[in-house]
Structure 1
């Protein structure tokens, strides 16, 4: 028979573990959104196309930071439908560096660029560091990070900027900047 003391200790541990993990994620998200200049000092997040990020999407799916992480994950997975799902009606993609360099306006042109990239590079692993989310005018939020895409042959470090605007209560990408940085 299990003693009451042993039972209460075994029941408390999982609750404490959940509280500690929740607090850790909350602190991580807080520091990312409260950084005041440059990139924040947020810990890096590494994921592979077959392994989802450790952030729970069910509780934070509508935040620009989590949407950005989902966008980068979709790129890594080569999931064109998910990549395109966050764009507004008239988005702009600024691609700086590499063979796809250029400015692309509209979903059709952006989709064509992502098709080329995914065909040539996916699947990829991602390492995301220094995420910073800042508010803009009205319902606009900007998410910046250093995102490194790696397929084993190519390592592509990208200074990434996504501008989200709330449209009918949902954040959508209005502007995206993919700037390849030299390692």
Structure 2
């Protein structure tokens, strides 16, 4: 049985981790936000700052922060962090590019991310148009336009992540990576 003190320490650690990841994403996006995105207007930085005032955040604030840390892990080429957010039987729908296909299960998704990271990372990200909504059956959906850029390749992605709470932690159950034309 988990004691209240242990649960409290865990919650504080989680909030601090989210804060560090949010700052990391914001810092990595700052230099990317100075350049023209190719979409006809100046890009914004990451979505508006997420308030971390209490442990009892709204689910959409939690999942927005998780999504930003997921995109940051992809950009940094950190395969362990990328895979850590997935549920036991996730689905990745990759639309466009050489990795196009539907991938079911952590092992297949890990293999795809391994190929992508080997070919593209490290990357800068520009994250715009972040929208979070509550879906059916307790899911939280985060959508955004995420542009990954390694200096040679600029990959604009219409990104959708579907999170579901599993034992009190939000995990990715569905992911759609759709490359869009600028």
Q: 1:173 Cα shift? A: 0.1
> Measured at CA, do residues 57 and 100 of structure 1 come closer, stay the same or move farther in structure 2, by a change above 3 Å?
farther
Q: 1:137 Cα shift? A: 1.6
Equivalents in 1 of 2:86, 2:130: separation in Å? 20
Q: Which residue of 1 aligns with 2:44?
A: 44
Q: Which residue of 2 aligns with 1:112?
A: 111
Equivalents in 2 of 1:117, 1:177: separation in Å? 15
Q: Is the 8 Å Cα contact of residues 57 and 66 (structure 1) preserved in structure 2? A: no
Q: 1:56 Cα shift? A: 7.4
Q: 1:139 Cα shift? A: 1.8
RMSD between superposed Cα atoms in Å: 2.2
* Aligned counterparts, 1:83-122, within 5 A: 83-122=82-121
Q: 1:44 Cα shift? A: 2.7
Uncovered stretches (5+) of structure 1, i.e. residues with no partner: 1-42, 47-53
Q: 1:108 Cα shift? A: 0.2
Runs of 4+ in structure 1 displaced over 4 angstroms? 54-62
* Aligned counterparts, 1:122-137, within 5 A: 122-137=121-136
1:98 alignment partner, SS class: coil
2:160 alignment partner, SS class: strand
1:174 matched to 2:163? The reply is no
* Aligned counterparts, 1:45-60, within 5 A: 45=45
TM-score, length-normalised on structure 2? 0.69
Larger Rg: 1
1:138 alignment partner, SS class: helix
Give the total of aligned pairs: 135
Equivalents in 2 of 1:157, 1:121: separation in Å? 13
Q: 1:55 Cα shift? A: 5.6
Equivalents in 1 of 2:78, 2:121: separation in Å? 9
Equivalents in 2 of 1:137, 1:104: separation in Å? 22
Equivalents in 2 of 1:95, 1:126: separation in Å? 18
Uncovered stretches (5+) of structure 2, i.e. residues with no partner: 1-42
Residue deviations 1:102-122, cap 9 Å, x none? 000000000000000000000
Equivalents in 2 of 1:145, 1:58: separation in Å? 24
* Aligned counterparts, 1:28-39, within 5 A: none
> Measured at CA, do residues 141 and 79 of structure 1 come closer, stay the same or move farther in structure 2, by a change above 3 Å?
same
Equivalents in 2 of 1:57, 1:102: separation in Å? 37
Equivalents in 2 of 1:146, 1:122: separation in Å? 18
Residue deviations 1:87-133, cap 9 Å, x none? 00000000000000000000000000000000000000000000000
